Amino acid sequence: MLTKIQKIWAWVFVVLFLIPEILFSIVISSIINYSGKDFLTISSLFFDSRFFINNPTYFFISLFVQIISILGLLILSKSINKIVFSLLFIILFWLVFIFFLGYMSNTISLVF
């Protein structure tokens, strides 16, 4: 069972994960884009489709915030439920994978 302080931190980490996810749909859109389909996010109403390509720093900052929030939730949920822990670990693995792919593609585009 979580204490009151741990519940507050859990909500902080959930909000830190959900705000970039709602705005940019990083996890969902990356899964759909890697499958070969197009996906419109809420951010497409405010930014053009090449916003993260033109500004990779914003992409890495939003990914970093999501990774930190999932790590915090992993630490808090380690003793609660194995299914939630497994799901959070899969999301963390996917975010790190996206971060690595984004970093490599940004590095390669700077070389060429």
Query: What is residue 88's three-state secondary structure?
Result: helix
Over range 11-27, report the average pLDDT.
85
What's the one-letter identity of residue 53? I
Residue 37 lies in a domain: no
Range of the domain at 65: 4-27+55-111
Residue 33 lies in a domain: no
Residue 38 lies in a domain: no
Residue 63 lies in a domain: yes
Collect all residues with Cβ–Cβ distance below 8 Å to 89 and sequence separation of at least 6: 74
Over range 68-91, report the average pLDDT.
86
Residue 43 lies in a domain: no
107 versus 14: the higher-pLDDT residue is 14
pLDDT score recorded for residue 85: 85
Residue 36 lies in a domain: no
The model scores a pTM over 0.95: no
Collect all residues with Cβ–Cβ distance below 8 Å to 66 and sequence separation of at least 6: 16, 17, 20, 21, 26, 27, 95
Give the model's confidence band at 27: pLDDT under 50 very low, under 70 low, under 90 confident, else very high. Answer: confident
Over range 100-107, report the average pLDDT.
73
Residue 35 lies in a domain: no
> How many domains is the chain partitioned into structurally?
1
Collect all residues with Cβ–Cβ distance below 8 Å to 69 and sequence separation of at least 6: 13, 14, 16, 17
Residue 104 lies in a domain: yes
